[in-house]
Each structure stands twice: as structure tokens, then as C-alpha cells.
Amino acid sequence: MPDVRNCRKCGKIYNYIGGAPLCPSCKELDEADFKRIKEYLYDNPKASVTQVSVDLDVSVEKIKRFLKEGRLEIAGDDGNLILECENCGRSIKTGRYCVECERSLTSSLRSAASQFKSELESQSQNTGRSNAFGMRYLNKSYEKKD
């Protein structure tokens, strides 16, 4: 069943296929804006968001959205005022989290994964050891558990 939605920009009904909630023609305009911003930044690598917004007549909100999607990165100084880390509220230049939060988020994911892995490893080590040491060690580990 098609996912029919109203375009957030022009209100037209369209078949939603993912990404920004815009109809194909608005999405095309959106992409065109993105391309213009990209080209503009190519020529003016240190441009600020305000500058881009004024020069290209693209709303700051839209530029912010591209930034949050991680498609653009701010090189200029006023980038510090535009985006905030969703976790700690610190100013960031692209994406949703600052470098620290990004790192701790990934590392907590990783440590959960490695904990799981070491549990598995210790399990297999125990099995290996009980095989090596025979029945006696197995009995002992039962005692330990209870």
C-alpha cells in the first residue's frame, strides 16, 4: 500500500518514498538548492550560513537541515551558533552530535558489544577448560555458580 502524504512545502498529495517529506517537484527544487549551496561553498569555502542564505536566497532553516543531515559542514565562524549537539547542547558544525558525544555513543555501543563478546569468550573458555580438566573442574564450577 503506498504511503500517501501531503508535501510539507506545497501541500500537494504524493507517494512518500523516504527522505524529506516533500513531493517530487519540491524535492527537485530542494536538490537544486543543495547543489547551489554546494557549488557556492566550493567557490567560497569559508562562507557563513548567513552569507549563503542571503547570497543564494535559501532559508537558514533549509541550510540547517542540510547540515543536520550531515550533507554540509560549516567552515565559517558563525557555524558555532547554528547547530547544537542533541546530547550535550554544545555547538557543532555538522551532523547531530559533537565529536565527544559521537565518540562516547559509539564507544558505549562498542563496549556493550565487546562485553557480549567477552561473555561469549569466557563461556567458551570455561567449556574449553572443563574439557581440559575433566569432570572435577566442571563440578567445581557448578559449586561456584550456586
Which residues here bind Zn ion, judged by CB under 5 A?
A: 7, 9-10, 12, 23, 26, 85, 87-88, 90, 98, 101
Q: What is the CA radius of gyration of the chain?
A: 26
- Residue closer to Zn ion by CB (options 15, 131) is 15
- Residue closer to Zn ion by CB (options 31, 39) is 31
Handedness of CA 29, 37, 94, 51 (dihedral sign): negative
Shortest CB 57 distance to Zn ion, Å: 18
Amino acid, res. 79: G
**Long-range contacts, stretch 100-103, CB < 8 angstroms, 24+ apart:** none
Shortest CB 86 distance to Zn ion, Å: 8
Shortest CB 26 distance to Zn ion, Å: 3
